[in-house]
Amino acid sequence: MPAGAFTYPVRHVQPTRWFGFLLLPEFTLLAFSAALDPLRIANQLAQKPLYGWVVMSENGLPVVSSSGVDVGVHAPLADLDEDLHLFVCSGNRGPEVASDPVLSALRRHARFGGAVGGICTGAATLARAGLLKDRQFTLHWENQPGFAEAFPDLTPTLRRFETDGGVLTCGGGAASTEMMISLIAQDYGEDFAIAVSDMCLNTADLAPAREQRSSIAKAISSRNPKVLEVMRAMYQNIEHPLSLEELAERAHVSRRQIERQFKTLLGESPAATYRNIRLDRARALLMETDLSVMQVAMASGFNSDAVFSRHFRLRFGETPYGTRRKKRAD
């Protein structure tokens, strides 16, 4: 394997862990490559074959991605080894492109102990194969409404990636990288995973998976001018938060209307959205500045250290002090 300018020695090397990537027609090239390259980078940093991969298609022929680029593969699906952790990679036509032989192969793989996963809309194929019952999973947010219509008994989460036993799924794009880095962290520790993340120019955030879309992105897509006006005011008033009455007044609507619209469009109360905006700002300050935790709390609109710490832990799975310790360790 080629050496880079930066290496990270790994002392206790485990047997090479192998992954398979099944490319379905019109798969998303970005999501696939974003999942594969962290494995290559891990090998490069360690200068050891920590990970191996096999790219597959149903018939062993190249597969055309959604961007029109043909991608060659290593093997047909018939050569699937039960030791492979197989990820299904698909795109906007995810729920419909897998053939019956592909579905049968996935069921057989899972039945004999093989692990499976889905990248971008790969979870839709896993659902068709009957492999997501009682599982926590996700797929790209754009395709979730159609998925809900096709599979009313299955409910994807809005998180960027999910791990439920041997089933790993993600929404694609940067979430593919985050999912693979989480696996690397499990295998070789958080410090090594952060080194891989840095090489990907990815955030070193190994906290529980965040939602795929920010609240402001949801608001923008809703095209609701009143909700957008309220959210602009939230972002402009973080250190000194406005009351809900003041926010509603800026948008020229009643408090009751704002509460109802936020619940309908964003699935949460205005207070929860506002608090999360402030917590996200707080985490950025903890990672990027030397302000004390109490100073960060006040800059984010929290007057109580205890209240700040409690909400921070609920959102990020660790205390502000834990986040600050990680920054100092870097």
At 8 the pLDDT is: 87
How large a percentage of the chain has pLDDT more than 90? 69
Query: Per-residue pLDDT for 65 more than 70?
Result: yes
Confidence of residue 209 (pLDDT cuts 50, 70, 90): low
pLDDT category of residue 313 using cuts at 50, 70 and 90: very high
Tell me: pLDDT of 215 over 70. no
CATH, range 215-329: 1.10.10.60
pLDDT of 329 reads 64
The superfamily CATH assigns to domain 17-200 is Class I glutamine amidotransferase (GATase) domain (3.40.50.880)
Look over the chain and give the mean of its residue pLDDT values, rounded to a whole number.
90
> Is pLDDT above 60 for 253?
yes
Whether 283 shows a pLDDT value over 90: the answer reads no
Residue 137, token pair as written in the block:
């999973």
Least-confidence region, from 74-83, 162-171, 219-228, 255-264: 219-228
The domain limits of the chain are 17-200, 215-329
Please tell me the predicted confidence (pLDDT) of residue 83. 92
**208 or 290, which is more confident:** 290
Most confident of 12-16, 208-212, 322-326: 12-16
pLDDT at 41: 96
pTM greater than 0.75 (yes/no)? no
Q: What pLDDT score was predicted for residue 289?
A: 80
